[in-house]
Every structure is written in C-alpha cells, then in structure tokens.
Amino acid sequence: MGMANPDCIFCKIIAGEVPSLKLYEDDRVFAMMDINPFDDGHGLVITKAHAENLLNADPDDLAAVLPAAQKICRAVEAALKPEGVNVVQANGPAAGQTVYHFHTHIFPRRRDDGAMLNWGHTPGDMGRIEAVYNKIMAVM
C-alpha cells in the first residue's frame, strides 16, 4: 500500500483518525457516506493507498474500486429505490475535484433531482472527433 499523506483527510479517515460512516472495506478500498451529499445515499469509494487521482492511482487498486462500487450500488438500489445511479469521478480542478485522494462518487438519481450530470446528445463534427482521436492515439 502507498504511504499515507499526513495532510490528507481521506488518509486520516482510513487510519481511523477522522470518523466516517463506513459502507465497505477490503484490502485495497474503503467506502463511506459523503458528508456534503448531493442527495440521500451519496457515497464515496476511495483507494486505501494515497494517490492524487485516476491519473496516478495503482491499476490494481483501481480494479478493486468498481466491484466495491457495485456492492454499494446494489445496497443503495435495494434500500432507497432510486430511479438511477451515477458513478462519477473527478480529476483536477475543472472537473470539480476538491479532495486530492482518489475517490469515486456514487449518486442515487431521480429524474427531477436537478443534477447537472446529463448532457444533450447533439451530433458532433466527425472531422473534429477524428482529429482529436488521432491526437490521443498518437500518445496511447
């Protein structure tokens, strides 16, 4: 496991130095209720190892995140009967990341909940999509 970061709130939660409402824990991941919830049932799955975000997290830790998110989604589904669930993850300030320790959000959703997570499916410019694709593939 990576070193804990002494200034990181999520590292403190994993170490038991800051309280949390724990939903799930295994060797690689920890999950809890978010204390500034978007809506009822908002949870977080975090890696136990400190890594800033998706860009530098250990792939083996990341591989444990989605099965944990699935367990929580199933429990949220059974307990709260939402109309949908989003699993959302932020990397960097423009993406809304505020805690720089890898985490993914689990948001129960309702059609009228006003979350600004849905975008219209307006067809793109295929030339532009392909130019951007080529840029990404050049460094993949």
Q: What single string gives the DSSP state of each residue in 84-112?
A: EEEEE---SGGGT--S-S-EEEEEEE-TT
Residues with a known catalytic role: 103
Q: Which stretch binds ligand AMP (CB under 6 A): 30-38, 61-69, 75-83, 121-129?
A: 30-38
Report the residue number, 80 or 95, with the smaller CB distance to ligand AMP. 95
Taken as a whole, the chain contains a residue count of 140
Residue ranges with strand state E in the chain? 22-25, 29-33, 43-47, 84-88, 103-109
Instruction: Rule CB under 6 A: choose which of 86, 97, 109, 113 binds ligand AMP.
Output: 97
Residue closest to ligand AMP (Cβ): 36
* Residues 59/75, Cβ–Cβ less than 8 Å: no
Q: Decide which of Zn ion, ligand AMP, none touches 99; Cβ closer than 5 to 8 Å per partner kind.
A: ligand AMP
Q: Decide which of Zn ion, ligand AMP, none touches 101; Cβ closer than 5 to 8 Å per partner kind.
A: Zn ion
